[in-house]
Amino acid sequence: METSELHAYLQNNNNGIVNWEALKARLQPKALKINGIPVFMFDLTFDITQKLIDDQLVISIQRPFSSVPMHVHPYIEMVYVYRGQCTVIINDQQIPLSQGGMMLIDKMTPHTVLETTEEDIVVDMKLKHDYLSTGFISRITSKSIISEFLIHSLIDKRKTNQFLHFPLHGVVKTGQIMEQLMCEYFDRGINSHDIINSYLVILFTELIRHIDDLQLSAHSRSTEDSSVVDYLRYIEEHYTDCSLVDMAVYFKFHPNALSAILKRTTGKSFKDLLQLQRLNKAALYLKNTDIPIADIAEEVGYSSLSFFHKKFKEIFNETPSQYRQGTRSYMS
C-alpha cells in the first residue's frame, strides 16, 4: 500500500457506530474502580474492521458518533489524530488533540475518547509489548548525555502522569512516519514485522526530540528546566577540558548554584555528567576505531590510564578491551 492509497482506506473504514450496550453484553467486561473512578476492563483488541485480534500491535479507528465509557486495559494505547480532532478524557482531565497530535496512555489508566464526527479520523494503536520499556529505548539512545537525559525524563514523566501528550502542531515528519507504519501494517508483506518495529523505533526517536513540547501538567516549566539541554550540550561540546568554573562563567551562574541546578534537574553532579560524556565518547571510539586504548583515554580527557579503566568499568561493567571485543563480536 502506498501513502496515496492510505487515506482512501482509512476513510472507507471510518464508519459503523459502536453499540456499547451490545458490545458490553457480548464481551462482559469486568467493572472496576480505580482511584474511585468506575471503569470497565478491556483486555481484548479489535482490528480496523472490528474483528477480534490477538497481536502485539493492533491498529484500529475510533468510530464516529460512538462513545465508550471510561475504561482501562493492560496494554499501552496510542491515540493519533490522522485528520480533524478529538478530545481524550483521562484522570478527570479533558485534553484536546488536533491533527497530527498523539497521546500515549499507560497501562491501567482510566480514559475514554469523546464522540468524533465523520470528518475526523482518529487512529488507535494498541501496544501490548511495552515500546517505552528500557530494553526498547536502548535501541534508540545514542552515546550522548542529552539523549540519555531526555529518554529518562520521558520515562519518568510517563510513570508519574500515566500518559504522554505530544501536540506536534505543524510537525510533518511524525505524520509521515505514521503513514508509512500504517501502510506496512494494513498491507503486510515479507518482513513486515521487522519493518513495523523499525518504524516504531524511528517514531519514538522523533517523539523524544519533541519532549520539550510535552504538555504533562498545568505547571509551566521553570527557566532552569528549560535550560538543562543547553547545560548538557555545553558539557558535550567541551568535555575534554570542561570545568564547572568555566561553565558557570559561561552561563553567568555561581559555580555552587550551577552545580545545584544540574543535580536537581538531572539527578547527577557536574562531575558525574562530565565522566559519563567522556566515557560515552570513549565507547564510541572503542566500537568504531582501532585507536589504542591509551590514546583513546587521553583523547577524551583522562591523563591517568588506570583511572580511565576504573571509571569505564563502573559505567559499562566491563573493561575497555572487553567492551571493544564484545562490540566487534556483535557486529561480525
Same domain membership, residue 138 and residue 88 = yes
Average pLDDT over residues 146-164: 72
Q: pLDDT tier at 95 (50, 70, 90 boundaries)?
A: very high
Tell which of 213, 239, 258 closes a domain. 213
| CATH number of the CATH domain containing 262 | 1.10.10.60
Q: Considering just the CA atoms, what is the radius of gyration of the chain in Å? A: 24
Q: Are residues 232 and 273 in the same domain?
A: yes
Residue 217: which pLDDT band, with cuts at 50, 70 and 90?
Answer: very low
pLDDT at 302: 93
Does some domain include residue 170? Answer: yes
| Residue at a domain's end among 160, 178, 213 | 213
Same-domain status, 29 and 76: yes
As a whole number of angstroms, the distance between CA 129 and CA 56 comes to 6
Nine cell digits for residue 16: 459503523
Any domain includes 58: yes
Asked whether residue 128 is assigned to any structural domain, the reply reads yes
What is d(CA 216, CA 209) in angstroms, rounded to the nearest whole number?
Answer: 16
Q: What is the DSSP letter of 212?
A: G
How far, in Å, are 33, 141, 168 from residue 173 at the CA level? Answer: 39, 19, 10
pTM: 0.70
Reported as a pLDDT band with limits 50, 70 and 90, residue 133 is low
Are residues 237 and 105 part of one domain?
no
Q: Quick one: average pLDDT of 92-96?
A: 89
Q: What is the mean pLDDT of the chain?
A: 84
| Percentage of residues of the chain with pLDDT beyond 90 | 45
Assess if residue 218 is contained within a domain. no
310 lies in a domain?
yes
Confidence class of residue 142 from pLDDT cuts 50, 70 and 90? low
Same domain, 196 and 165: yes
Q: What's the structural domain count of the chain?
A: 2
Q: Are residues 248 and 149 in the same domain?
A: no
Position 308 scores a pLDDT of: 95
| Average pLDDT for 115-126 | 93
The residue from 213, 232, 257 where one domain ends is 213
The CATH number of residue 125's host domain is 2.60.120.280
pLDDT computed for residue 35 by the predictor: 81
Q: What is the pLDDT of residue 67?
A: 79
Q: What is d(CA 38, CA 64) in angstroms, rounded to the nearest whole number?
A: 24
Would residue 108 count as lying in a domain?
Answer: yes
Q: Which of 10-14, 39-43, 217-221 has the lowest mean pLDDT?
A: 217-221
Termini Cα distance of the chain: 35
User: Does residue 230 sit in the same domain as residue 205?
Assistant: no
CA atoms within 13 A on the CB side of 279: 22
Q: Which domain holds residue 274?
A: 223-331
Which of 5-19, 36-50, 122-136 has the weakest average pLDDT?
122-136
Residues 166 and 310 reside in one and the same domain: no
pLDDT for 221: 44
Tell me which residue of 140, 150, 159 sits closest to 228, measured CA to CA.
Answer: 150
Sheet containing 57-61: which strands, arranged edge to edge? 57-61, 121-127, 76-83, 102-105, 163-166
The reply to whether 63 falls in a domain is: yes
Domain shared by 136 and 264, yes or no? no
Q: Which residues contact 220 (CB under 8 A, 6 or more apart)?
A: none
pLDDT at 157 over 80: no
pLDDT band at residue 215 using 50, 70 and 90 as cut-offs: very low
The more confidently predicted of residues 156 and 242 is 242
Domain membership of residue 92 (yes or no) is yes
Lowest mean pLDDT among 97-101, 152-156, 238-242, 277-281: 152-156
If asked whether residues 115 and 205 sit together in one domain, one would say yes
Is 72 found in the same domain as 150? yes
Whether residue 278 sits in one domain with residue 152: no
How confident is the model over 37-80, as pLDDT tens digits?
899 998 878 777 777 777 888 999 998 888 788 999 888 899 99
